Amino acid sequence: MQGEPDPTDGFTPLRAELIGLAYRMTGSFATAEDIAQDTFLRWNAADRSQIEIPRAWLLKVATRLSLDHLKSARSHREHYVGPWLPEPVLDSEDPPQQAAHEHAQDLSVAFLLTLQRLSPAERAVFILHDLFETPFAEIATLLARSEAACRKLATRARDHLNETAPRQPVTDPEARRIARAFLAASRNGDEATLRNLLAQDVVLHTDGGGIRPAALNPISGAGKVSRFFAGIARKHPAPVPLLHLGRINTLPGYVTLEADGLPQTTALEIRDGLIMRIYIVRNPEKLAGIRARLQ
């Protein structure tokens, strides 16, 4: 109808927030984009003249869709082969809801993994209230719970998430130096250099999703981790192309093109100049977006 407001006018400025919410809820950037699109379809079909606060309405719809997705994905997650890691996001892209508030760390892998260990309700309450400043009264209506119950859910979520409180971030020059040194040492199978780069209690997480070879359990300890990479170097001695060096989910890291012709992301959690956690994503279902962006 002529003169009717364009639905994209009210939706487009909030699309990044919706993707950010859904990404934190599901751990999948591709799923988050789909949820944002489904939210738009509902927005387009709604009687928008009756919606007083578009942002609140859109956040509620995206949250409901995220919760529905988690229910349908529960069985798949329970039978996932090996460690599960969130779909990586390059910081050179437009990240989902680049936070302008104190929660700038909330795209880190450790933070996202902790979110995934919360119940869907705890996750929804924390994300909506603490990250998107939604009042408890609105959240209670959305989840069909009392405000008091929602406050308790938020408190439990915060207690878990405090374990991943941000530490002093490593500077970009130092991050690049360590990332480059780790890439070279791991590809050369240089165990001595790897041991100097790794904290004694380092933990390696590799996500192949049962599609590509990966360790089926986290590997702990500098000795075991360095031997793991030395073993890979012996099997695949040819150098691999470096596609991207920068930050992945706020962490120093890189993207390489592996011997099988598929990309792989490596993100490093660094503390006091040593690598504490290594997150490697090899599952091609989680790398399609990155592959398309880097081609």
Tens digit of each residue's pLDDT (9 = 90 or more) over 110-122: 889 999 999 999 9
The one-letter code for the residue type at 96 is P
- Rounded to two decimals, the pTM is 0.89
Pick the closest to residue 30 from 264, 262, 293, 286 (CA basis). Answer: 286
Domains in the chain: ranges and CATH: 8-164 (1.20.140.160), 172-294 (3.10.450.50)
Pick the closest to residue 142 from 64, 218, 78 (CA basis). Answer: 64
Strand ordering across the sheet containing 242-248: 219-220, 198-207, 274-281, 263-271, 251-257, 242-248
The Cα 69–Cα 115 span in angstroms is 16
The pLDDT assigned to 162 comes to 80
Are the C-beta atoms of residues 259 and 247 closer than 8 Å to each other?
no
How does DSSP assign 96-132, residue by residue? TT--SSS-TTTTSHHHHHHHHHS-HHHHHHHIIIIIT
Tens digit of each residue's pLDDT (9 = 90 or more) over 167-190: 667 888 999 999 999 999 999 999
Pick the closest to residue 179 from 109, 88, 242, 89 (CA basis). Answer: 242
Hey, is 44 helix, strand or coil?
Answer: helix
The Cα 233–Cα 104 span in angstroms is 36
The pLDDT assigned to 134 comes to 94
Q: Write out the chain's pLDDT in tens, 295 residues.
A: 455 678 888 899 999 999 999 999 999 999 999 999 999 999 999 999 899 999 999 999 999 999 999 988 876 788 899 999 999 999 855 555 544 334 445 788 988 999 999 999 999 999 999 999 999 999 999 999 999 999 999 999 998 888 665 566 788 899 999 999 999 999 999 999 999 999 999 999 999 999 999 999 999 999 999 999 999 999 988 888 999 999 999 999 999 999 899 999 999 999 999 999 999 999 999 999 898 888 7
User: Tokens for 215?
Assistant: 């360790």
Are the C-beta atoms of residues 276 and 270 closer than 8 Å to each other?
yes
- Residues 6 or more apart in contact with residue 290 via CB below 8 angstroms: 88, 90, 255, 263, 265
**What is the β-pairing status of strands 274-281 and 198-207?**
parallel
Are the C-beta atoms of residues 239 and 187 closer than 8 Å to each other?
yes
The pLDDT assigned to 143 comes to 92
